[in-house]
């Protein structure tokens, strides 16, 4: 049977190491027949990301999302290499470590702006640059977390950024729908990655979720990559503007 993404071109932004959610997503897409391009933040990540690129025969381009020139040149290069783009995965977020602990009311002005710039505006700019390449329609997806909807201890400024990210998904879905480009967010349960390690007491969150989620376990990168595959494929052709929880049901629980 042909892969679900046979003949599709996919850009995956945000693979940094083998624990990255984007890493597993890129592997899953390639395994289902997609031609994959990777962007990575900078020189520090290059050698590690090359391992993934070699494994799945992907191209790789540096792209610090705070720099519009780098964003434009990354998408230009992808346009030259691929001609058209079908799938974009945005798996990028960052906040100052000191803002991921204590009180949200202590958030600094520049810490707030940085979290929004890297974690939210980058999706807006990426969608704008991807859309002209998605001449056959397309699927754009980003990664979010329950801290957008509920108060999660220490998630603070990133919870507010994720709320803006989820709202951006709805606005982008409305903008790009007439071009048959779908835009969705995948709300993953907590997974131990480098980004997650920056959040104070993250292990406590993992334990609480495993104890309370209806399926009584935590998700892993593979659980998330399977749903990312669904969102990237035609199986989700009528789904857009959605925030889809992949969290073993944790989000439905009250007291």
Q: Which stretch binds ligand NAD (CB under 6 A): 62-70, 78-86, 102-110, 173-181?
A: 62-70
Q: Choose between 6 and 113: whose C-beta lies nearer to ligand NAD.
A: 113
Query: Given the rule CB under 6 A, which of 26-34, 60-68, 75-83, 173-181 is the region that contacts ligand NAD?
Result: 60-68
Element (H, E) at 138: strand 138-144
SS3 category, 165: helix
Return the active site residues: 145, 155
Residue number, 180 or 200, with CB nearest to ligand NAD: 200
Closest CA to 10 of 37, 33, 40: 37
Beta bridge partners of 1: none
228 binds ligand NAD (CB under 6 A): no
Question: Segment near ligand NAD (CB under 6 A), from 72-80, 95-103, 149-157, 193-201?
Answer: 193-201
Whose tokens are 């993934």? That residue is 52
**100 binds ligand NAD, rule: CB under 6 A:** no
Asked if 229 touches ligand NAD (CB under 6 A), the answer is no
- Residues 5-34, one symbol each (x = binds ligand NAD by CB under 6 A, - = not), give ---------xxx---xxx------------
C-beta closer to ligand NAD: residue 16 or 35: 16
Q: What is the dihedral of CA 194, 198, 201, 202, to 10 degrees?
A: -30
Residues 97, 115 contacting (CB under 8 angstroms): no
Cα dihedral sign, 237-169-70-57 = negative
> How far is it between the farthest Cα atoms of the chain?
54
The residue among 39 and 236 lying less far from ligand NAD, judged by its C-beta, is 39
């Amino acid at each position: 049977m042909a892969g679900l993404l046979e003949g599709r071109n996919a850009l995956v932004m945000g693979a940094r190491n083998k624990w990255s959610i984007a890493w597993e997503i890129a592997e899953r897409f390639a395994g289902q027949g997609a031609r994959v391009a990777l962007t990575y933040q900078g020189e520090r990540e290059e050698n590690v990301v090359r391992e993934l690129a070699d494994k799945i025969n992907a191209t790789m381009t540096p792209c610090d999302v705070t720099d519009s020139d780098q964003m434009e040149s990354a998408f230009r290069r992808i346009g030259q290499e691929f001609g058209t783009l079908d799938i974009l995965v945005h798996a990028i977020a960052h906040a100052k470590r000191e803002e991921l602990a204590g009180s949200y009311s202590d958030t600094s002005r520049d810490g707030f702006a940085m979290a929004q710039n890297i974690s939210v505006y980058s999706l807006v700019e990426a969608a704008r640059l991807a859309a002209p390449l998605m001449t056959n329609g397309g699927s754009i997806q980003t990664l979010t977390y329950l801290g957008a909807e509920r108060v999660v201890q220490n998630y603070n400024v990133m919870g507010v950024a994720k709320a803006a990210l989820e709202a951006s998904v709805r606005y982008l879905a409305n903008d790009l729908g007439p071009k048959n480009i779908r835009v969705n967010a995948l709300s993953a349960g907590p997974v131990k990655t480098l980004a997650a390690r920056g959040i104070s007491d993250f292990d406590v969150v993992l334990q609480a979720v495993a104890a309370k989620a209806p399926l009584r376990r935590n998700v892993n990168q593979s659980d998330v990559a399977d749903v990312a595959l669904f969102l990237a494929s035609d199986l989700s052709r009528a789904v857009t503007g959605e925030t889809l929880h992949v969290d073993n049901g944790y989000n439905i629980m009250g007291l």
